[in-house]
Structure 1
Amino acid sequence: MSFKRVCVAMSGGVDSTGAALLLLRQGYDVFGVTLRLRSDDPRAQEPEIEAARAAAGVLGISHTVLDLRDLFRTAVIDRFVSEYAQGRTPNPCLDCNRAVKFGAMLDWALEQGADALATGHYAGVAFDDVSGRWQLLRGRDRRKDQSYFLYQLTQRQLSHLLLPVGEYEKPALRALAEKAGLANAHRADSQDICFIPEGEYVAFLERHSGAELVPGDFVDQAGRVLGRHRGLPCYTTGQRKGLGVSADTPLYVLDKDPATNTVTLGPDSALYTRELRAKRLNWISIPALEAPMAVTARTRHSQREAAAVAEPLPDGHVLVTFQEPQRAVTPGQAVVFYSGESVVGGGTIVK
């Protein structure tokens, strides 16, 4: 597909600014957009909006602020709160990419006359003539590869997507931005969930759910009470610190049960499993999973891939069996499948 006019999602950081710079140098007609997403604190995003606007000015492109606060609240924040209330640990960046960035923002960009949307994600897009499908590829910089976060993209979305920084390593992109006179060339990367500054997610959940934390029992694998917990949202699978339970050996969070309001603790060895089930599947390199397929898989963005077999189940779920046991597989997180450089697809881990 031949693109001429491209909308670049500009967050104010060097990655998205670098994407705009690269596209301009490749001869595209570029304009920028920054999303206003925070309804809880209208001024919280002002620094990044101003940084994006300033970068657009240096690049000589137009810049728009698009207000998607209502959608962000319902599709991302409300779901985040709901998932935690049900004992799961969601990844809000995945929901934001699906519904907001590559949903509403892409639709808006096309309505403005753009042929494509570009972002600063470290990943790649290519059309495969053999399969007749758009492929999502890993980024060249393996330390920054963000293909995991994009596994929910559809063929339509991929067909209108450019990811120019995917061919670069981060230091090279910073050097390019610095040489172009961009003030954000060395701006620090964002680490926290954007709507939960400094990781204070328990306080955030209390404010936005309208419900107080409900204390309950810590139990061992046999059901024996070990102590009291502060509320299910305070804990996640694999957690060791902050439990407040004394034992002869280190204890870790193994499971959370909303039905009984209990948190099961046990040894590190009990955190390992060779199987998981996933739902809400999205397939990219293939139309559907119709037979067992050898893949490599990640159960968290930060974890290394592991060899596995993905097998379709009659209920529409997928059974994933790993060659080696995996630690702290967490309901609510995503499992993403790879074959070589391509993302096969992925889904949400269920208990």
Structure 2
Amino acid sequence: MNDLGFDKRPEDTRIVVAMSGGVDSSVTAALLKERGYDVVGVTLQLYDHGAAVERKGACCAGQDIHDARNVAAEIGIPHYVLDYESKFRESVIDDFVDAYTRGETPIPCVRCNQTVKFRDLLGTARDLGAEALATGHYVRREAVDGRARLMAAVDASKDQSYFLFATTQEQLDFLRFPLGGNDKTETRRLAERFGLPVADKPDSQDICFVPNGSYASVVTKFRPDAGKPGDIVHLDGTVLGRHDGVVNYTIGQRRGLGIGGRNKDGSAAGDNDPLYVVRIDPATNRVLVGPHDALAVDEIRLATLNWLGPEKLSDTPRPVMVKIRNTMAPVPATVRADAVGDVIVRFAEPEYGVSAGQACVFYEGETVLGGGWIQRQDAAVAAA
């Protein structure tokens, strides 16, 4: 049994590595090559949007493809570039734009992993005769009682398990994550030891296809109506100001609203009682604001559940730890299925700034049990 879990010699085990042109995927390919595996590198060209290609920290376009090709040549493996621009546009960019126009806050990295990488690329890897598809994600895969489990990375600061919650059991059986036990410093050291030309390359930042980090510019490019001005309205129905397009706002936002706070008697104030975005309503083109308490959420409903736990989810509340944002520490909650097939998550303590379109991911210790997409739940507003 080799160290990837196959009953054959490494040299008889073909592994396709998804090479983005960054340090992590490059080290993944070099490590597997050093261990004697039959490694094939594949890079996906996902977009070519001018400024996005030139922006430092982008991935999967322009210079990154060139970098991946150079790494493959350095370590002596075959390398292929696949044009996935149309797939990426349909599965990721269009979904991103549509979600924003619905007043949601999407996570395109999850959609990319769920569709383009772990559905389409995984199929390509099988066509190439691979036993597995390896990536540079910081997450672990462990076999327990003959079943693959998805686990958080050893380095909590680099853990990417939140973004991989939609990985199915069938996909997980085929995937491998060699860097899950590393921290970033160790990965950089390995890149230097292998003499990789990307050893000092910065990590990718923000969303790869968004030039200069401006989400609104991407959305309004495809959906100009998302930049249409409208009213900023208090939950009590008072119109407080104007906005320059609902796409520029997110749930929980406080800064950049262009309005002051309110005193306890409801009159305008400076920042005595700050206001937050509590709802985005594209149907009426309004941004709804209210006090911090209005952001408190005790319970959320999820759709499109992906469950990886060994026991089937039932209508009995099950204690879990959950994350509703990648950057937060897991918090206690219960999860259960309801009669119509949705999943209900109830927090032990209210959570603030819950955004529709984000993911809620379940953990049991370091094991990822799955997760789902947070559905919209509208805040009440008085008639203006």
| TM above 0.5 | yes
Q: Any gaps of 5 or more consecutive residues in structure 2? A: 54-60, 262-268, 377-384
* Separation (CA, whole Å) in 1 of partners of 2:49 and 2:356: 28
C-alpha deviations, 1:244-276, integer Å up to 9, x for none?
A: 112322211111112222111122232222211
User: How big is the shift at 1:18?
Assistant: 1.2
Which residue identity is paired with 1:285? G
Residue number in structure 1 paired with 2:275: 251
TM-score, with normalisation over the residues of structure 2? 0.88
Residue number in structure 2 paired with 1:288: 312
Cα gap change, 1:284/1:53 in structure 2, threshold over 3 Å: closer, same or farther?
A: same
* Separation (CA, whole Å) in 1 of partners of 2:19 and 2:51: 18
Q: Report whether the alignment pairs 1:102 with 2:127.
A: no
Residue number in structure 1 paired with 2:381: none
Cα gap change, 1:242/1:159 in structure 2, threshold over 3 Å: closer, same or farther?
A: same
Residue number in structure 2 paired with 1:302: 327
User: How big is the shift at 1:37?
Assistant: 0.6
Residue number in structure 1 paired with 2:348: 323
* Alpha-carbon contact 1:11-1:49 (below 8 Å) kept: yes
C-alpha deviations, 1:16-50, integer Å up to 9, x for none?
A: 01111221232211110110010544992221011
* Separation (CA, whole Å) in 2 of partners of 1:232 and 1:42: 24
TM-score, with normalisation over the residues of structure 1? 0.96
* Separation (CA, whole Å) in 1 of partners of 2:35 and 2:165: 27
Structure 1 residue aligned with 2:196, among 145, 164, 182? 182
* Separation (CA, whole Å) in 1 of partners of 2:222 and 2:334: 39
Q: Report whether the alignment pairs 1:57 with 2:73.
A: yes
- After superposing on structure 2, the runs of 4+ consecutive aligned residues of structure 1 that deviate more than 6 Å are none
* Alpha-carbon contact 1:8-1:16 (below 8 Å) kept: yes
Structure 2 residue aligned with 1:265, among 286, 289, 297? 289
User: Which range moves more in the overlay, 112-121 or 286-295?
Assistant: 286-295
State the secondary structure of the residue aligned to 2:242.
Answer: strand
Residue number in structure 1 paired with 2:166: 152
User: How big is the shift at 1:186?
Assistant: 2.2
Residue number in structure 2 paired with 1:126: 142
State the secondary structure of the residue aligned to 1:289.
Answer: coil
Cα gap change, 1:42/1:8 in structure 2, threshold over 3 Å: closer, same or farther?
A: farther
Residue number in structure 1 paired with 2:216: 202
C-alpha deviations, 1:185-225, integer Å up to 9, x for none?
A: 22111111000022111111111224452222111121211
Cα gap change, 1:287/1:69 in structure 2, threshold over 3 Å: closer, same or farther?
A: farther
State the secondary structure of the residue aligned to 2:298.
Answer: strand
Which residue identity is paired with 2:192? E
Residues matched between the structures, number: 349
* Separation (CA, whole Å) in 1 of partners of 2:255 and 2:82: 40
State the secondary structure of the residue aligned to 1:242.
Answer: coil
* Alpha-carbon contact 2:319-2:335 (below 8 Å) kept: yes
User: Which range moves more in the overlay, 105-114 or 271-280?
Assistant: 271-280
Cα gap change, 1:212/1:237 in structure 2, threshold over 3 Å: closer, same or farther?
A: closer
Q: Report whether the alignment pairs 1:348 with 2:362.
A: no
Residue number in structure 2 paired with 1:22: 31
* Separation (CA, whole Å) in 1 of partners of 2:103 and 2:252: 14
User: How big is the shift at 1:77?
Assistant: 0.6
State the secondary structure of the residue aligned to 2:179.
Answer: helix
Residue number in structure 2 paired with 1:276: 300
* Alpha-carbon contact 2:226-2:247 (below 8 Å) kept: no
* Alpha-carbon contact 2:101-2:226 (below 8 Å) kept: no
User: How big is the shift at 1:286?
Assistant: 3.1
Residue number in structure 2 paired with 1:8: 17
* Alpha-carbon contact 1:39-1:73 (below 8 Å) kept: no
Find the structure with the greater CA-based Rg.
Answer: 2
User: How big is the shift at 1:287?
Assistant: 5.6
* Alpha-carbon contact 1:238-1:328 (below 8 Å) kept: yes
Which residue identity is paired with 1:308? A
State the secondary structure of the residue aligned to 1:244.
Answer: coil
Residue number in structure 1 paired with 2:233: 219
* Alpha-carbon contact 2:48-2:62 (below 8 Å) kept: no
C-alpha deviations, 1:59-109, integer Å up to 9, x for none?
A: 111111011111100111111111111111111111111110001011011
State the secondary structure of the residue aligned to 1:78.
Answer: helix
Which residue identity is paired with 1:242? G
Structure 2 residue aligned with 1:76, among 81, 92, 103? 92
State the secondary structure of the residue aligned to 1:164.
Answer: coil
